[in-house]
Structure 1
């Protein structure tokens, strides 16, 4: 108990200089140095993103487009720079206000105080997208933090279950036509490519048929004509309520083949794009990178999902005698079997947050749930606080790529934070940080970070 009390006293009495800016005694200089480090890095990032968006429009940009793009780059850069510098300053101010560091004030509360304020500097149309991205990474990080404490336990293919439920919810909204009214989003364009425009809602006036008007004669398989008639029925048989023109069987089969080919092409194309230098250097390992089962994963997932979704939907229309948006629920759940071929956590969490966002928009429009003012900013603030806490104090719960990103834009500051005084918190913060730093191969090229501004 005495040793634990001593450690707690060391953590509480740790100064912000010992913790986050040992190269300077000035908190203001530390925050200014962070801003000067983040600004050029974020300028490169957002410059690339906005310019690519401008090029992908497929037309020669006007002077107005160029001005709007330049303004967007500068505004987004200012947002990210402000977020990082205010975070450092908030840690120092909270410590001075409370007289020391607690577990929640070392990172979580300072970030919570400044993140939503920083987001106000970003363009309004980008705030929701940023909140969704941060929530995506944040919920994964929060789960790992809880899992490390033994409070939760991952289940096999849990991400596929999340993905399946999310896609099913999105497909119901797509078939109900909500994507044209209260749940507008670009995600539905992707769904339209996968399952086709035929399944798009809102549904037309349903054609109810309980029985066929004329029974088809039984086939006599002793003659070749019967096989030709069977083939013709295979190509043409469809229920009157089915929204597609061709027969149900070719509709489902072709509906599975097209997404399969598209998914394979997309995955192979991305691999080729990422390996352009190796291709020109004739060092590309084609069999290892391209000609393997991994290149089929996305295609199989999309193809099987579309095939099962359309087969189930047509089967329900034949069985019930009418079409309904509610059929998207069993069809989506059965189609989710195909997603086992592509168990991607990032995609699963993105779809989860997107479906929750659109369901919330629908509920708010109908008056079922209250509309929370500035919800995107609140969501961004909460999960940014989780990410900042995990990045500093529980680094092994953070995605390595995100840790590397923060280390880069901060000018090599993150890896220099002194976390040894916080051993009393019981999460081994310094050991976790050291393991992540070694895993990522982070090496200091200078005893000081970029723009140290030593005083």
Structure 2
């Protein structure tokens, strides 16, 4: 990298760097584009099908048509990204006659990102921007840490999550439903709708009863049997004390324990299903690991986090209402901070960074709506292009700083060509090989 500290050029051809497997720039771009189409279709067919199945009911013809069109459009977006990147690398090389530190990856990735994001649906651009910004910020931190510019903080992801959730929960309790962001659906699922501003118990009960009718009969029957067997305990918990400012219908004890138990069961079930799906081959070869997988210490991580977060958050809110004699959205700040400590049961830098960037987005939108900050209509697209350019630049020059899952994704989309370009870049820039591990 020292060679390119002042944008010093290197007179290498496109074949020497971009596509050592062929002499033709168009053949190289077309080959990567064709392979990426197959990989993109496989990815998006899986994603869209799972999203359709999670609705829990038979899809209509309109939903099927929208799903098919979504698969085609998203696949076109991602495959265009792979095709245009290779084409842009070669085009800039032909214009300038050489390569430099920016033209080996960053500038072509920025241009190809701008071209491809225009193909994707506008409703998905914000989600894509949030994802790549998440990964890019982690990559930049790793690059800075490798240069001793910053030092990792033990359990840093927990602190980030705590601060982000306290802010998001404050917005959740202080903003009306009309101003809700999509992330509030996730928050409502974890902590329940009672803590949301302008909560209406009667309308919410109607929505719940309406959803219950769409549940599978077996799940509904099991739920009814469980409710009948635990009815005496539940009635006892419901009859305990409740503060007048609390928005929930029954006692604070029932409100806290019921939510905690429910979220623990959901978290445990999700983690168990994921373990079974991801380790199906290992289980088939060695069935004895099934018991440890379902009942070992690691099996309860997600459940402990979701159950602990939901229960602790509600418990602190109820205690603060009793202590202050009333309710306030500001109670969500200390409650969110303390409840966020349960993230230690299931720590994830990805989730922590997602919440951090989502918090910044929500805060900026709130400030912009009140006139404190200007609206930036192109901010999402430009931030997506910049973040993707950072990731592609790191993939070529410093892949060890990338998240391993993203590196595997790039290898899959490019048919392994990304690894060959990486090796050629290190050779032409006189850099030591940095294979990812």
Please give the range of the TM-score, normalised by the shorter of the 2 chains.
0.7 to 0.9
SS state at 1:236 partner = coil
Could you tell me which residue of structure 1 aligns to residue 250 of structure 2?
246
For 1:60, which of 39, 58, 61 is the aligned residue?
A: 58
TM-score (norm 2): 0.85
SS state at 1:48 partner = helix
SS state at 1:102 partner = coil
What is the distance in 1 between the residues matched to 2:422 and 2:313?
A: 53
> Do the aligned partners of 1:34 and 1:84 also contact (CA within 8 Å) in 2?
yes
> Do the aligned partners of 1:313 and 1:327 also contact (CA within 8 Å) in 2?
yes
C-alpha change, 1:288 and 1:427, in structure 2 (3 Å) is farther
For 2:74, which of 67, 70, 76 is the aligned residue?
A: 76
For 1:132, which of 130, 139, 152 is the aligned residue?
A: 130
> Do the aligned partners of 2:175 and 2:197 also contact (CA within 8 Å) in 1?
yes
RMSD value over aligned CA atoms? 2.6
C-alpha change, 1:329 and 1:5, in structure 2 (3 Å) is closer
C-alpha change, 1:303 and 1:365, in structure 2 (3 Å) is same
Could you tell me which residue of structure 2 aligns to residue 97 of structure 1?
95
SS state at 2:321 partner = helix
Deviations 1:351-386 (A, max 9, x none): 112222222222222212111012221111011001
C-alpha change, 1:239 and 1:57, in structure 2 (3 Å) is closer
C-alpha change, 1:15 and 1:306, in structure 2 (3 Å) is same
C-alpha change, 1:12 and 1:63, in structure 2 (3 Å) is same
C-alpha change, 1:234 and 1:407, in structure 2 (3 Å) is closer
1:14-163 matches, within 5 Å, as: 14-163=12-161
What is the distance in 2 between the residues matched to 1:380 and 1:30?
A: 25
> Do the aligned partners of 2:8 and 2:100 also contact (CA within 8 Å) in 1?
no
Could you tell me which residue of structure 1 aligns to residue 195 of structure 2?
199
Larger Rg belongs to: 1
1:38-437 matches, within 5 Å, as: 38-178=36-176, 180-185=177-182, 187-202=183-198, 236-279=240-283, 283=287, 285-417=289-421, 419=423, 422=426, 428=432, 431-432=433-434, 435-436=435-436
Could you tell me which residue of structure 2 aligns to residue 446 of structure 1?
none
By how many angstroms is 1:306 displaced? 2.1
SS state at 2:94 partner = helix
By how many angstroms is 1:8 displaced? 10
Runs of 5+ consecutive residues of structure 1 not aligned to the other structure: 205-231, 440-455
What is the distance in 2 between the residues matched to 1:34 and 1:5?
A: 29
By how many angstroms is 1:315 displaced? 1.7
> Do the aligned partners of 2:7 and 2:102 also contact (CA within 8 Å) in 1?
no
C-alpha change, 1:160 and 1:5, in structure 2 (3 Å) is closer
> Do the aligned partners of 1:177 and 1:203 also contact (CA within 8 Å) in 2?
no
SS state at 2:327 partner = coil
What is the distance in 2 between the residues matched to 1:201 and 1:9?
A: 54
> Do the aligned partners of 1:136 and 1:349 also contact (CA within 8 Å) in 2?
yes
> Do the aligned partners of 1:11 and 1:421 also contact (CA within 8 Å) in 2?
no
By how many angstroms is 1:34 displaced? 1.4
C-alpha change, 1:96 and 1:284, in structure 2 (3 Å) is farther
**Segment of structure 1 superposing worse, 380-389 or 415-424:** 415-424
What is the distance in 1 between the residues matched to 2:4 and 2:353?
A: 42
C-alpha change, 1:233 and 1:148, in structure 2 (3 Å) is closer
> Do the aligned partners of 1:163 and 1:348 also contact (CA within 8 Å) in 2?
yes
> Do the aligned partners of 2:283 and 2:290 also contact (CA within 8 Å) in 1?
no
By how many angstroms is 1:332 displaced? 0.6
By how many angstroms is 1:319 displaced? 1.7
C-alpha change, 1:160 and 1:82, in structure 2 (3 Å) is same
What is the distance in 2 between the residues matched to 1:247 and 1:411?
A: 58
By how many angstroms is 1:413 displaced? 0.7
By how many angstroms is 1:104 displaced? 1.9
By how many angstroms is 1:295 displaced? 1.1
